[in-house]
Amino acid sequence: MKIDRHGKAKILSQQEIQLLFNHGLQNDRDRALFGICLFCACRVNEACTLRTRDVYDHKGRVLPKLIIRKGNTKGKLATRTIPVIEDLRSLLIAHQKNAGEVYLFPGRHSHYQPDSADDTLRKACKRVGLIGVSSHSFRRTALTQMSDNGTPLRVIMEISGHRNMAQVAVYIEVRDEQVLGAVTGLSMLSPTSVSEIQLFPGVSSSVQEVDQPL
């Protein structure tokens, strides 16, 4: 857990996400901003620097895919296009009236600054009593959820913008119950022979044996 900016950002549960978006974040801009971080698994700087034309068409309608241009990505490696799911579409529709002419999230001089977004998130978390959350929590939560859903790593990399699997692995959290489930699955490798396994509890193995033909 991340405390005082040390450690990994907290993975959010569905209940914590609902609490944060419904009671912690106070306006449509902040819900849209962190909704993008969550539903596009992107960094807060990528969300803050989005261009309005990469989110809405000329009539102000939400585009089917959101464009994160490589010039705004870490390392400026590649442009990514992320399908806009209905949950995100609703947040973007609510924010549309506040979008700037150039930037989706306008600031005093250019775009809304990541440091300001981080400060907004800290205040929101304080309102609802969440600890260990940072703007990176949304990216980690999204990538971990995709992994839990069985999404291939190469697909996750396409969404996250990572260039190798080792980078993605750092983001994905492995939980205790997953480790237990994986180890429990090894029971199929049991060295106990079939004849020693009691197929019907309470019935002796001699009764279970099938007569062999003479």
Q: What is the pLDDT of residue 209?
A: 47
CA distance 163 to 178: 26
In a domain, 201, yes or no: no
Cβ contact 126:23 at 8 Å: no
Render pLDDT for 65-104 as a digit per residue (tens, 0 to 9): 999 887 666 655 678 889 999 999 999 999 999 999 999 9
Does any domain span residue 49? yes
Please choose, from the candidates 95, 44, 89, the residue with its C-alpha nearest in 3D space to the C-alpha of residue 66: 89
Q: Which domain holds residue 55?
A: 14-128
d(CA 180, CA 198): 24
- pTM summary value: 0.75
Q: Is residue 203, in this structure, part of any structural domain at all?
A: no
**Rounded Cα–Cα distance for residues 14 and 127 (Å):** 18
Answer whether 12's CB lies under 8 Å from 24's CB: no
- Dihedral (Cα; 33, 39, 50, 77), 10-degree rounding: 140
In a domain, 137, yes or no: no
pLDDT of residue 181: 62
CA–CA gap between residue 64 and residue 54 (Å, rounded): 10
- 19 falls within a domain: yes
Mean pLDDT of 8-30: 95
Cβ atoms < 10 Å from Cβ of 172: 16
Is the confidence at residue 118, as pLDDT, over 60?
yes
For the cut 50, the answer to whether the pLDDT of residue 5 exceeds it is no
Q: Does residue 153 fall inside a structural domain? A: no
Residue 84 domain flag: yes
How many whole angstroms separate alpha carbon 42 and alpha carbon 198?
Answer: 52
User: How many domains are there within the chain?
Assistant: 1
Structure tokens at 180: 């237990």
For the chain, what is the mean pLDDT?
82
Q: In CATH, what number is assigned to the domain containing residue 118? A: 1.10.443.10
Q: Any residues with CB less than 8 A from the CB of 110 and at least 6 apart, and which?
A: 102, 103
Closest among 61, 57, 60, 40 to 49, alpha carbons compared: 40
Whether residue 143 is contained in a domain is answered as no
